[in-house]
Every structure is written in structure tokens, then in C-alpha cells.
Amino acid sequence: MKLQDSRILITGGSSGLGKEMAALFKQHGAKVLITGRDAEKVMRVAAELGVYGIAADVADEADIAKTFTAVQEKLGGLDVLINNAGFGEFAPIDAITLDQFERVFRTNVFGAALMGREAAKIFKQQKSGNIINISSSAGRKGFANGSVYAASKFAVSGLTECWREELRRYNVRVMQVNPSAVPTAFNVQDRSEKPLVDNMLTPTEIAHAIKGMLEMADRGFITELSVWATNPF
């Protein structure tokens, strides 16, 4: 697809990967709408980048409906959904709680699923579209104390594979990206950005990787892309 004049919705777009993607796509002529839970922050970042913004929490179904109303009003339709919103909670197996699972799954899995549901309605009708689910290297290999977060990202992989089988016949490309070590606001209590680290990835690398996936001609697509830091140790 061509980014010029494409209509792109990015959840969790006010910081980190989402913010970098929004900036890059805007630079290449796309119309972009970002969402975020912090109203002041998402509108400030949207103004900074020259994109549209809406305060919305993917864990709230009413906010999802509000988001897709904004998609029609501000973008005039949709070509790309990027399910980027997500967070993690971490604990050893003998200390995890049901509340941790419910909080993380409500955003990482249920929120992504309902965003995908609404995008699919649009894409099936127009017989075109792109969904990119941002997973994690933790969605391919678990780690100590990662039961809650890794399980949520393994679930995202399941969603991606099911949607791909359902939507290919409608010319809809469903893709997944698994970033490795990227310093962002992820898992930071006040949502401030972590400083970049020389031996880790930056949001820029991930954004450019996703741009390349989208710009492949519509006759084909990259089903899944894992992006690893060369030597994060």
C-alpha cells in the first residue's frame, strides 16, 4: 500500500512505539489518529506531531465505540489499525493474582480483540485493509516472572492467526510485530519515557520496520516480523 493519504489508527500512540510510528507515517503523507488514556498527554502529542488525537482506553468498550466514531469524523475511513496499546505486570508463579491477569488481559487481549472487531467490519465491507498487532518477543518465548505478560502476548499471536485466516479472502492483511528490548514508557508507573540505551533497539527501528511491512504491494504481506537487539546483554 501507499502511505500517502492512507488513514491510520494507532492505539497507545502518545509515547514510545506508537508516537514514533505516528510521526513517521505523518511525515510520509498519512492521515493519523492516535489514542491514549491520558487526555492531556494524547492531545499534546497529537498537536506536536500534527496528527489527530482522542482520549480513549482500549480496555473500555464505550471508548472503543467513541474511537471508531472519531475515525469516521476525522479520517473519513480507515486503511490501517495498529494495535499498539499494552502494558505488563510481573510476578513469580506462586505470587500471581487473578487481578493481574484481568488487568493485563483487558488491555492487551480483550482491547486488541474489540479494536480488531470494529476494524474488521470496515475492512470486510471495503474489501481492503491492514491490521498490525504489536506483540513482543515475550509472545514467542516465556521468561521467569513473565506468566501474566507473556500469556497475554501469546494470546495476541492466537488472535493474529485467527484473523488472518478469516480476513485474507477480503484482501485484508493481518500482521504481527514482535519487538525485543526497546526502552519506552512501558512498565513505568508515571509513563515517562526511559532513556535510550546504546545496545538496545529504539522506537525508530520498530517504526521503520512497520513502515516497510505496510509499503509492500498489496498482493503480498509479511505475516510476522521479530525485531531483536543484536547484543542487549
Confidence of residue 232 (pLDDT cuts 50, 70, 90): confident
Alpha carbon distance 138, 159 (integer Å): 15
Q: Does the predicted model carry a pTM greater than 0.85?
A: yes
Confidence of residue 193 (pLDDT cuts 50, 70, 90): low
- Cβ proximity of 33 and 55 under 8 Å: no
pLDDT in tens, 83-141: 999 999 999 999 999 999 999 999 999 999 999 999 999 999 999 999 999 999 999 99
Q: What is the pLDDT of residue 9?
A: 99
Backbone angles phi, psi at 33, to 5 degrees: -120, 125
Enter the C-alpha cell of residue 119: 476494524
Q: What is the pLDDT of residue 194?
A: 65
- Cβ proximity of 10 and 32 under 8 Å: yes
Fold of 7-227: Rossmann fold (3.40.50)
DSSP character for 136?
Answer: -
**Which residues are marked as active site?**
149
Residue 157 has pLDDT above 80, yes or no: yes
Domain boundaries, the chain: 7-227
Q: What is the pLDDT of residue 30?
A: 98
- Cβ proximity of 23 and 210 under 8 Å: no
Q: What is the pLDDT of residue 181?
A: 80
Confidence of residue 186 (pLDDT cuts 50, 70, 90): low
Q: What is the pLDDT of residue 98?
A: 98
Residue 233 has pLDDT above 90, yes or no: no
Alpha carbon distance 170, 113 (integer Å): 18
Enter the C-alpha cell of residue 186: 512501558
